[in-house]
Amino acid sequence: MKKVLVSLISITVCLLVAQIVYSCMLVGDGKEIRTIDGKITAVKGETALLSEQVASASSLLTIQQKALSMGFTQKPQVMTIHKDQFVAALGPIR
Amino acid sequence: MKAEATAQYKLELTIPAERGSIITSDGYPIVMNKSASLVYVEPKNIENSKVFAQLVSGVLQIEEASVSAMISDSSKMWIPILHKVDEEKIQELKSLNIKGLGFEKEPKRYYPEGSMAAQLLGFVGLDQNGSDVGYFGLEGYYNRELQGKAGSISIEKDVSGAPILVGESVRIEPENGSTMVLWLDRTIQNIVEQKLAEGIAKYGAKEGSVVVMDPATGGILAMASYPSYHPGQYQQFDKELYKNPIVASAYEPGSTFKALVMGAAIDKGLIKATSIFEEIGPIAVSDYTIRTWNNEYNGPLTMTQVLEHSSNVGMVYVAKLLGIDAFVKYIKNVGFGVPTNIDLEDESSPIARSDKDWKEIDLATASFGQGIAVTPLQMVRATAAVANGGWLMEPHMVKKMQDTNNRTIDIKPKKVRQVMSSATSQVVTEMMTSAVDNGEAKWAKPKGYRIAGKTGTAQIPVAGHYDDKRTIASFVGFAPADKPRFAMLVTLREPSSSQWGSETAAPLFFTIAKDIFLYLGIPAQ
């Protein structure tokens, strides 16, 4: 009986110690959480910055400026051919 | 006391919601967020006030005296210096390692296309509490959907301020604002804005506007006015420019109104396109005499020719056949006198004259678009009804909304009512096509395309009378006439090169139409 009682008390003490150690570890993890939160914020910031750069680079405003600087200053003349029109005159087959 | 005690062991933060983006129909953002920060000062931590003021004012481009004044009050814990400072400047300030200077993230609106579509987008400013709020245009109309809902976090903290995981914690995630996908086509908007600016310079107009609508859906493909402003720097512009004149300003449509009046009379079976009117001279109405625009009279004219010659006396004849009651009922039916219900904050409609106030002379002048006020949007919508078989559509800017959970809400095109039969719309389309092919503006029409349209030159009412020299030149139409892809209205206020719509607004319409044909891949026939 005494042995059982001692065993139970030992197990309880062990569990209490384990819980205290675990809680202490969790308390310490708060700093790690803060670091991770900081990293998430930084990644989000980088993603936002990339989105902004992509939007800026693909904007008509930028494309137009680049096209002008590359010498595309005149619009090409476009000739449309109706679907019923032949692109070349058909001659007799020889 | 309780709050102070709680603040010692609890970390309570607001997690701001990200404002939704606005995207054009071709998938490109026209408004989005960019990273920016609030720059603040903690006066107690400043080492050298003079150096601090010099460095900060240099980077932020604020007067040194203003910064010095801000930091002089050492009783305050912190003082905001400047909101929404760009990331490049923040990095520059951080590199200077100035003691007492702090930063707090706060997103800023970014416009990849610059000032494009400013008056329909609106802008984001601050309310009385310093929170972001949308004003005017889409930002104002959809402010609630765009701004989302802020979240919060409440967690116990240790002595260094780090969160304690075993402690109590409540976290409410923010709901970011919805993304708006527009009917607006970025390329058509770009074409319209460029050509409008060129047209205003070429014709020496004071103002101008262009609106392009898809007649089948009521979706707005492009909408531009000049002068305009930049929504990212709205404080630097006159407040008068914030309102979108296409939905908020009224004008007299002049002869562009004639095609609609013809439609009413044909729909009632009072005339046909081939009915003859004898144009032999001016018409007396009450105490007034109505003349043609050039005071020339062409004898017998078909109704189609009445439109081709833009005959005022011919239109008075048609309006008399209709009568006041039918005329008033019709103009209400095609949406004049009431807002169109477009999803833009600044829409207003000129108040229509009450039914009992209509006199014979009012009917006569309204038949050729004088003495009646409409908004450009009402005018293009009514014309789009001719293009789509007679259906008045509800105009819309937003095609769909996407929330953060990727749920999409489609805003379906809405038919308001049928205002003329399909047969009538076809007849009016042919008459308008003929008015383009044989009218005053035929010289400017692109070859190989069937375009239905009508020119207009309305005198501007000044102090109770009309000023001959000051006009609003306009052209309304749709193309291709057989299978319309767009309806468009061009208006130019007080053009100085010529007062006539046929010599200013019409060529501008055709120039824009040519580029749209090319972009949409519509070949000439």
pLDDT in tens, B475-522: 999 999 999 999 999 999 999 998 888 889 999 999 999 999 999 989
Structure tokens at B194: 């460029």
**Total tally of structural domains belonging to chain B:** 2
Q: How many CB pairs lie under 8 A apart between chains A and B?
A: 67
Residue B301 CA to chain centroid, in angstroms? 39
Domain termination site, one of B67, B86, B106: B106
**What's the confidence (pLDDT) of residue B499?**
85
> Within a domain: residue A53?
yes
Chain B, 146 to 185: residues with Cβ < 8 Å from chain A are 157-158, 160, 162-166
Residue B38 CA to chain centroid, in angstroms? 32
Residue B190 CA to chain centroid, in angstroms? 14
> Within a domain: residue A65?
yes
SS3 B290: strand
Mean pLDDT of B433-440: 92
Residue among B158, B186, B448 minimizing CB distance to A60: B186
End-to-end C-alpha distance for chain B, whole angstroms: 82
> Within a domain: residue A91?
no
Is B333:B263 a contact under the CB 8 Å cutoff?
Answer: no
Name, in order, each residue with C-beta under 8 angstroms of A62's C-beta and a sequence gap of 6 or more: A56
Domain termination site, one of B76, B106, B136: B106
The domain that holds B379 is classified in CATH as 3.40.710.10
For B199-234, the DSSP string reads HHHHHT-SEEEEEEE-TTT-BEEEEEEES---GGGG
> Within a domain: residue B402?
yes
d(CA B355, CA B352): 9
Q: Which residues of A touch B151 (CB under 8 A)?
A: none
**What's the confidence (pLDDT) of residue A92?**
67
A46 touches chain B (CB under 8 A): no
> Within a domain: residue B136?
no
Q: Which residues of B touch A23 (CB under 8 A)?
A: 166
d(CA A10, CA B516): 86
Neighbours of B89 (CB within 10 A): 16
> Within a domain: residue B480?
yes
Burial A71-86 (b: 16+ CB within 10 A, else e): eeeeeeeeeeeeeeee
Pair B239, B375 in one domain: yes
> Within a domain: residue B354?
yes
Q: What share of chain A is helix, strand, coil (3-state, %, to 5)?
A: 70, 0, 30
> Within a domain: residue B171?
no
Which of B114, B193, B133 lies closest to B123, judged by CA? B133
Is B505:B251 a contact under the CB 8 Å cutoff?
Answer: no
> Within a domain: residue A81?
no
Neighbours of B351 (CB within 10 A): 10
Judged by average pLDDT, the poorest of A45-54, B122-131, B157-166, B246-255 is: B157-166
Alpha helix positions (H), A58-87: 60-69
Q: Do A60 and B187 touch (CB under 8 A)?
A: yes
Structure tokens at A2: 């005494």
Instruction: Tell me the CB-side half-sphere exposure of residue B165, using CA atoms within 13 A.
Output: 13
pTM for this one? Answer: 0.87
Q: What is the pLDDT of residues B151-187, one digit of tens each?
A: 887 777 777 666 666 667 787 888 899 999 999 999 9
B61 touches chain A (CB under 8 A): no
Q: What is the pLDDT of residues B216-256, one digit of tens each?
A: 999 999 999 999 999 999 999 999 999 999 999 999 999 99
Classify the C-alpha dihedral B357-B361-B367-B373 as positive or negative.
Answer: negative
Enclosing domain of residue A55:
2-69
A38 touches chain B (CB under 8 A): no
> Within a domain: residue A31?
yes
Enclosing domain of residue B67:
36-106
Pair B240, B336 in one domain: yes
Pair B63, B206 in one domain: no
Pair B397, B248 in one domain: yes
Q: Which of B34, B103, B157 to mutate to test the interface with A (most CBs of A within 10 A)?
A: B34
Q: What is the pLDDT of residues B349-358, one digit of tens each?
A: 888 888 888 9
Pair B82, B213 in one domain: no
Domain termination site, one of B106, B134, B151: B106
Pair B403, B256 in one domain: yes
Q: What is the pLDDT of residues A58-86, one digit of tens each?
A: 999 999 899 999 988 877 777 766 666 66
